[in-house]
Structure 1
Amino acid sequence: MEQTRTEAVCEDDFLALMSGFPTGVSVVTSLTPEGQPWGMTCSAVCSVTVEPPTLLVCLRSASPTCVAIAASGSFAVNLLDSAARPTAALFASGDPRRFDHVEWDTDDRAGGPHLTEAAFSVADCDVDRTEVVGDHTIVIGRVRRVLRRGVRRPLLYGLRSYSAWPEPAATA
């Protein structure tokens, strides 16, 4: 394949490209060393490897959630179900009191707060390494525990709107 020179890509073109790629919606959470909960909506979640179980999230570096993850060395990835659109919007809003408006809990093994009503699955992770790219930080986490709360339809985001995973088609 012939290599071509990289052309400058305008922000609008890049955003349009990525908005056409639907993805699941999560809230990444952590606790500061003092125990204050932080969390943010995140659609940049990806599995890395099964052995050892590892995933990555991409977060705005200056966010309080990213700062809490760096300080604590752990985080939780709460995968949101289709009824959790208000939770996704709340955690994307920047409201500093967002945890006052949702049901959540934590325990000694949690990587961060678990959103008990909004999440159908939670992965508790330890930070393995980080990489700063532009104004974001890629956080690679080793998954130490997965909690599942039954089978629920995931919340999706694409084309700048939320949607639910479609109902399974009837089989003949």
Structure 2
Amino acid sequence: MTQQTFSDEDAARRFRNALGMFATGITVVTARTPAGEPIGLTVNSFNSVSLDPPLIVWSLSNDLPSRPLFEACEYYAINVLAEDQAELSQRFASRTGDRFSGLEYEQGVGGVPLFKGCCARFECRNTVRHAGGDHVVFISEVVGFDREERLPLLYFSGAYRRLGG
């Protein structure tokens, strides 16, 4: 391997490509605005933090217009997508249109949208937020969850992937 540094203008792209070598699941984080409108976005920066108390972590870019809404909401849900839900991931990765138009979903704690057919769903109380460079890092208490025996949608090296076996 060749040691990489941050000394040139291509460094950010090379760093992002190196981070892409870590396979992740894909989630859609959903919440409600103060006016009660559903909001959501695709996130792959999700992970567990603690079993006791049950805590999770995810991060959100400072550049997104919905950032203040997620920071202010009391509850949100992490919908862990199954391998047949790539369209849902793409829909919520888009910055245009009504992402919830025509979608069926259940309502969790605080009315947060919960999608059917996911591998897992976590209902979370929005408890701690930290500045993290160009992102906000959310560490939150899980107040409810469920799971299904489904294969996950994965993201690796800039593309959706499936488990090999």
TM range (shorter): 0.7 to 0.9
Percentage of identical aligned residues: 28
SS in 1 for 2:22: coil
* Equivalent in the alignment of 1:11: 12
How many residue pairs match? The answer is 159
Paired amino acid for 2:68: V
SS in 2 for 1:40: strand
Structural mapping, 1:10-49, within 5 Å: 10-49=11-50
* Equivalent in the alignment of 2:120: 121
SS in 1 for 2:100: helix
Shift of 1:92: 0.6
Paired amino acid for 1:133: G
SS in 1 for 2:119: strand
Shift of 1:21: 1.0
Which ranges of 4 or more aligned residues in structure 1 deviate by more than 3 Å?
Answer: none
Structure 1 residues without counterparts, runs of 5 or longer: 1-6, 168-172
- Give deviations 1:97-123, integer Å, cap 9, x for gaps: 01114322214x257211124x22110
TM-score, normalising length: structure 2: 0.88
- Give deviations 1:19-73, integer Å, cap 9, x for gaps: 1111000001110121111111100001000000000011113434432222222
Is the contact made by 1:123 and 1:143 (CA closer than 8 Å) also made in structure 2? yes
Is the contact made by 1:129 and 1:139 (CA closer than 8 Å) also made in structure 2? yes
Is the contact made by 2:74 and 2:110 (CA closer than 8 Å) also made in structure 1? no
Structural mapping, 1:156-171, within 5 Å: 156-167=154-165
Greater CA drift, 9-18 or 137-146? 9-18
